A = this chain, B = another copy of it.
């Protein structure tokens, strides 16, 4: 078998599958507009990734330029669809905590003096409401994001209450 897809590769293939066909530029923009700073949405990540996926036979490209401006659209092959679905249904990966910057920090919150602890936790509570949902990803994505935000807020509240009782 082929080596498993990275998280970024999986998301790119999934995005292309959902939209039917996308240019590398559009893929890059989707990452750039995502709420996570961890996806920089850099050309230097996306263009070589597309080449990699094409070399593995997961995407095919078509030049659809209509004038002098280039436009190369990528779409999934059958193998690409299969690989994408394999990534998507990998439950072992799915249950992994991944990189959770808030969780990492709460784990060590006691290393901060108490006044800075309170300040940090209040700032997080305030700023959390403003995290934008992914763009153009439809109703499901917005619902998922809303529920996610809500559950994180409750998690943080409960943890703060626990700290108070300590």
**In the assembled complex, which residues on chain B have CB atoms less than 8 Å from the CB atom of A72?**
none
Give the dominant DSSP class at A's interface.
helix
Chain copies in the assembled complex: 2
Inter-chain CA distance A60–B120, complex, in Å, is 28
Q: Does A147 contact B (CB under 8 A)?
A: yes
**In the assembled complex, which residues on chain B have CB atoms less than 8 Å from the CB atom of A103?**
144, 148
Q: A102 and B111: CB pair below 8 A?
A: no
Q: Does A79 contact B (CB under 8 A)?
A: no
**In the assembled complex, which residues on chain B have CB atoms less than 8 Å from the CB atom of A78?**
none
Q: Does A42 contact B (CB under 8 A)?
A: no
**Least CB distance, A109 to chain B, in whole angstroms:** 7
Partner among B17, B100, B104, B141 whose Cβ is within 8 Å of the Cβ of A100: B100
Q: Does A65 contact B (CB under 8 A)?
A: no
Partner among B14, B100, B134, B147 whose Cβ is within 8 Å of the Cβ of A98: B100
Inter-chain CA distance A158–B148, complex, in Å, is 10
Most buried by B among A14, A15, A151: A151
**Least CB distance, A138 to chain B, in whole angstroms:** 9
**In the assembled complex, which residues on chain B have CB atoms less than 8 Å from the CB atom of A111?**
14, 17-18, 84-85, 88
**Least CB distance, A27 to chain B, in whole angstroms:** 14
Q: Which 4 A-B pairs have the closest CB atoms?
A: A151-B155, A91-B123, A14-B108, A98-B99
